[in-house]
Chains A and B, each alone.
Chain A
Amino acid sequence: MITLLLRRLVGLVVSLLVVSVLIFTVMDLLPGDPASIMLGTSASPDTLAALQRELGLDRPLPERYLSWLGGVLTGDLGQSYTYGVPVAGLIAERLTLTLPLAAMAIAIALSVAIPLGVEAARRHGGVWDFMIGLFSYLGIALPAFWFGLLLILLFSVRLGWMPAGGFSGWQEGFAAGMQALLLPAIALALPQAAVLTRVTRTAVLDNIGEDFVRTARAKGLGEGAAIWRHAFPAALVPITTMLGLQFSFLVAGAVLVENVFNLPGLGRLALQSLSQRDVIVMQDVVLFFAALVITVNVLVDLVHLVVDPRLRREAG
């Protein structure tokens, strides 16, 4: 078990290193360099050379990569060109919005998807199953950012119940912060809920016919209890797997939804850094998101190994 965990963690570190090398190399291969992008076309060659020296762009790629990596390991991601502050602090500050937003979206998605998926499996073939199936088709096709616009249109413009966007920080109080994040989280959650509903339904259906669920029924457990206490826990592995796989889409959705609701999160930081040509910030944010997606998927994998003895035997 310990060697298995260690092996996964080594795999994680290797993946993270490879993704960082890859992003570094791609950015290096693309025409133009950060200094000329930041300064625009009107900069004098002297200014350009000075900034290139300051950013260390006159050094060869491997050297730059290693010094960046050394920085990351000591918590130094470099300086933002436009804000003039360390990028690490900038990312940490924006995370106080993006992390709660993502967590809220996942919580909402799960609390919608699990009851719907289980219900659809219980009554499979019936009208409810059909309606829930329709919901997941529509939800998967629904652009989260458009749903966000519709929510603003209804709750802010028409009814005036909610702010149309913006976030004044957690110092305004927990409730105010949560209120500002509620509509964006719902917009972000709906497509996820649709996918997870489908997975829950299939996974529960797969388990309903299994011997251990039949035994539970034979013991005199009601149909509902047999499903919730026996078929559903066994379905948690595919559900969390999908949650991990969907994390990449959640990140993409967050970038869009933050822009719809004008929220100063990490996704908005990435887009702002693009329009301000702050390439270093953008590179760090992209790497951070990629690292997050990889880490979440390895964590999901590890949790499965811990909870499901069958998988442990296969992997061992």
Chain B
Amino acid sequence: MRAGLRRPILAAGLLLTAGLVSLAVLSLFWTPRPPGQMQIAMRLKPPFEQGLLGTDQFGRDVASMLMSGAWNSLSTAMAAVALGASLGCALGLGAAVWRGWAQALVLRGCDIVFAVPPILSAMMLAAFLGPGRGTAIIAIATFMVPVFARLTLGGARQIWSRPYVEAAIGMGRPPWRITFLHVLPNIADQIIVQATIQLGLAILTEAGLSFLGLGMAPPAPTWGRMLADAQTFLGPAPWLAILPGLAILLSVLGFSLLGDGLRDLLDPRAS
């Protein structure tokens, strides 16, 4: 029964993420209307009455804003995960080579960085650098570093104790070569799975940041700010509060399903 339920997880994840990515990429070339175009006469029209998903308080087309928001959200999340994962993996791989105090330092550092949620570090950064995409990317990436550092350190330590690695050490191979030749390829699966899952979390965090006004500056549409604006119109225009949240939910769900599906595919023992 469970084995039969396994592949649907991967399939559902692929479907949702492929949908998100294609809408996001499509928005760079085409949206039903220009996402920033205001038509005050058409304001607060419900879905299907004006455009596919209705209009907001300025008469902007919600479907176009959601598509454009998909790109903004996805690109920010990808940049944050790429930055956080590369820093974290470098730290984890290095700590596995040096062990001792370097490892202790990395682990303790991870605990400390993990204690400051991205929302708070984004606020600190925003006070000095101003809010914006860069601030959001740095704040989210910082929080991801410990996740990837712990993961690669744990994985790399196991690989370092394998017989073939000990043989390579005996042959006098330098640690950096062993790291890239034997360690990294063996833990790449885990890193890819984790990066997929973290992409979902990054989208969730980005939405929270832009909800608080700590994300991309207007007029660029973001799902978070669409929700923040929708708060004023909960009574007359509930779709404005429902649709962007649904977009966030489905995107995060897509990446977490895809991550779990990939894990089962790449490492059946883990499940």
A270's partner among B114, B120, B227, B253 (CB-CB below 8 A) is B120
Q: For residues 140 through 169 of chain A, which have their beta carbon under 8 Å from a beta carbon of chain B?
A: 140-143, 145-147, 149-150, 152-153, 157, 164
- The distance from the CB of B261 to the nearest CB of chain A, in whole angstroms, is 12
Q: Does A251 contact B (CB under 8 A)?
A: yes
How far apart are the CA atoms of A124 and B245 in the complex, in Å?
Answer: 31
Q: Does B189 contact A (CB under 8 A)?
A: no
- The distance from the CB of A118 to the nearest CB of chain B, in whole angstroms, is 18
User: Which of B48-56, B122-130, B168-176 lies at the interface with chain A?
Assistant: B122-130
User: Are A145 and B211 in contact, CB atoms less than 8 angstroms apart?
Assistant: yes
CB-based nearest A residue for B250: A141
User: Are B117 and A248 in contact, CB atoms less than 8 angstroms apart?
Assistant: yes
CB-based nearest B residue for A248: B117
Bitwise interface map of A from 27 to 59 toward B, beta carbon under 8 Å scored 1, else 0 = 100111000010000000000000000000000
Q: Does B27 contact A (CB under 8 A)?
A: no
Q: Does B84 contact A (CB under 8 A)?
A: no
How far apart are the CA atoms of A122 and B47 in the complex, in Å?
Answer: 44
Question: Cβ of B211: which chain A residues have Cβ within 8 Å of it?
Answer: 145, 256, 259
Q: Does B217 contact A (CB under 8 A)?
A: no
Q: For residues 1 through 42 of chain A, which have their beta carbon under 8 Å from a beta carbon of chain B?
A: 15, 18-19, 22-23, 26-27, 30-32, 37
Bitwise interface map of B from 107 to 123 toward A, beta carbon under 8 Å scored 1, else 0 = 01001101111111101
User: Which of B31-39, B158-166, B180-188, B200-208 lies at the interface with chain A?
Assistant: B200-208
Q: Does B11 contact A (CB under 8 A)?
A: no
Question: Cβ of B108: which chain A residues have Cβ within 8 Å of it?
Answer: 15, 18
CB-based nearest A residue for B251: A141
Q: A141-B204, A149-B227, A150-B245 are in contact. Are A282 and B111 (CB under 8 A)?
A: no
User: Are A252 and B119 in contact, CB atoms less than 8 angstroms apart?
Assistant: yes
User: Which of A93-101, A231-239, A288-296 lies at the interface with chain B?
Assistant: A288-296
User: Are A146 and B245 in contact, CB atoms less than 8 angstroms apart?
Assistant: yes
How far apart are the CA atoms of A278 and B216 in the complex, in Å?
Answer: 22
Q: Does B222 contact A (CB under 8 A)?
A: no
Chain B interface size, as a band, is 35 or more
CB-based nearest A residue for B9: A137
Question: Cβ of A242: which chain B residues have Cβ within 8 Å of it?
Answer: none
User: Are B5 and A143 in contact, CB atoms less than 8 angstroms apart?
Assistant: no
Question: Cβ of A15: which chain B residues have Cβ within 8 Å of it?
Answer: 108, 111-112, 115
Question: Considering the complex of A and B, which 9 residue pairs feature the smallest CB-CB distances, nearest first?
Answer: A146-B245, A30-B128, A141-B252, A252-B117, A141-B253, A293-B115, A290-B115, A252-B119, A286-B120
Give chain A's interface residues, CB within 8 Å of chain B: 15, 18-19, 22-23, 26-27, 30-32, 37, 125-126, 130, 137-138, 140-143, 145-147, 149-150, 152-153, 157, 164, 248-249, 251-252, 255-256, 259-260, 270-271, 274, 277, 279, 282-283, 285-286, 289-291, 293-294, 297
